Amino acid sequence: MSSSLSPGSSSPLDAHGWDSGWAAAFAPYAARGLVPGRVVRVDRGQCDVATDAGTVRADTAFVTPHDPLRVVCTGDWAAVDPEGASDPRYVRACLPRRTAFARSTSSKRSEGQILAANVDHAVIAVSLAVELDLGRIERFLALAWESGAQPTVVLSKADLVPDPVGLSYLVEDVETVAPGVQVLPLSSTTGEGLDVLSAVVAGGTTVLLGVSGAGKSTLANALVGEDVMSVQAARDVDGKGRHTTTTRNLFVLPGGGVLIDTPGLRGVGLWDAEAGVGQVFSEIEELARDCRFHDCAHEAEPGCAVVAAIEDGTLPVRRLESFRKLMRENQRLVAKTDARLRGEIRRDWKRTMAAGRAAVEFKRNGRLR
C-alpha cells in the first residue's frame, strides 16, 4: 500500500492537498491496487494526474457519465491504474467532491458545467483598467458562495489608479456588493497586495476566476513564481483580451496550497445558486425577515421592509433590481429541469395575471366582480 494512503505519513501528494480524509475515502480503491492522484489538467477525454510517482497521463473513458457535472474535472481526486496495469492507463473512479464550482452553459439545453473541484478559495479577478461591472461581480460571488468556497475579490491592475483616494472609493464600491468578502487591490506590476493574497491562498485549493483581460494569467504567474501561463495584452478600449488560458490547470504554490487557473469566462450563468444569491444579497435577506408576509415579493405588498428600505435610502435600488434579476434567472434555470417547480411558477403567473385583471376591473368600474 502506498505511503500516501496512511494518515500522518509524508507523501509528494501532500503538496496537492492530500490529507487523512482523502486517505480514508480512498481506502476501498487502495484495496483494489489502484493509485491515488489529483487531476491537474483535462483535455480531449484524457487528463494529467499528479501521483506519488509523478504526473501520469490517464484516459477518462471509464468515468464519463451522462451528467456533465460529474465528468472528471481539474481538482478531482482520482483512483488511477497502477504503473504497467494497462496502456493507456485509466481513471477508474473519482472520490466524492467536497466542493464544486459550476455554472450553466450557454447552450439552450441548460446544462451545468463544472469548472473546478474541491476548491477552498475562489479568487475573482476584476480589472481596474475598465469601469467596474458590479452586476457581474455579484454573479461571480453567487457562484462562489454556492460552490462552498470562500470568495475573495482582487481588483487587478491597481497601478492604473495612482490616486489613493480614488482607489479607496473603488474598493468601497465593490465592498458594498460583497458582504463578508475581502476586497483586495493588487498590481502584479508593482507587487502591491501580492503578499496579502499569497497568505490567503497558502492553505487549501484556490480557483482563479474572471473574464478575459482581467489579468488572471499574470496573477497566476506571480503567485506561482514563474511564467507558467502565457500573457497577452488586453485592448485599452474595453480591457478585453483573447483567451490565453484554454484549459483549467492546477499548480502547486511555493508558499503552500494549490492554484487552479481557468479560461476567461464570457458568460457567468447561474446554476442552482439560490443559496449563493441569498449570501451575496444578505442585507435583503435580513430585511425580508421583517416583511409582513413571509412570501413577500418586495413589490407593492403592505408592510414590506425591503421596499421601506428603498424608500428611506438605506437600500440602493440597483441592489434590489440585481437581486430580483438573479433570482428570476436562477428560478427559470431550475424550472427547466424540475417539473414540480415549473407547475408552481405557472400557478404563480396565473394568480398574478388574475390579480392584474381584477385591479384593472376595479379601476374601471369601482368594484370587483
Taking only the tens place, the pLDDT of each residue in 144-197 is 998 889 999 999 999 999 999 999 999 999 999 999 999 999 998 899 999 999
Grid coordinates of 109? 439545453
Half-sphere exposure of 50 toward its Cβ, with a 13 Å CA cutoff?
22
Range 225-241 average pLDDT: 53
pLDDT tens, residue by residue, 246-272: 578 999 999 899 999 988 665 666 667
Euclidean distance between CA atoms 216 and 264, whole angstroms: 8
Q: pLDDT value at position 266? A: 59
pTM: 0.80
Q: Determine the Cα–Cα distance for residues 311 and 274; give it in Å rounded to an integer.
A: 26
Distance CA 341, CA 274 (A): 14
Q: Which residues, other chains included, contact 289 with Cβ-Cβ below 8 Å and sequence gap of 6+?
A: 305
Mean pLDDT score, 133-141: 93
Give 9 or 78, the one with higher predicted confidence. 78
Kindly state the cell numbers that stand for 267.
Answer: 458568460
Instruction: Determine the residue type at 67.
Output: D
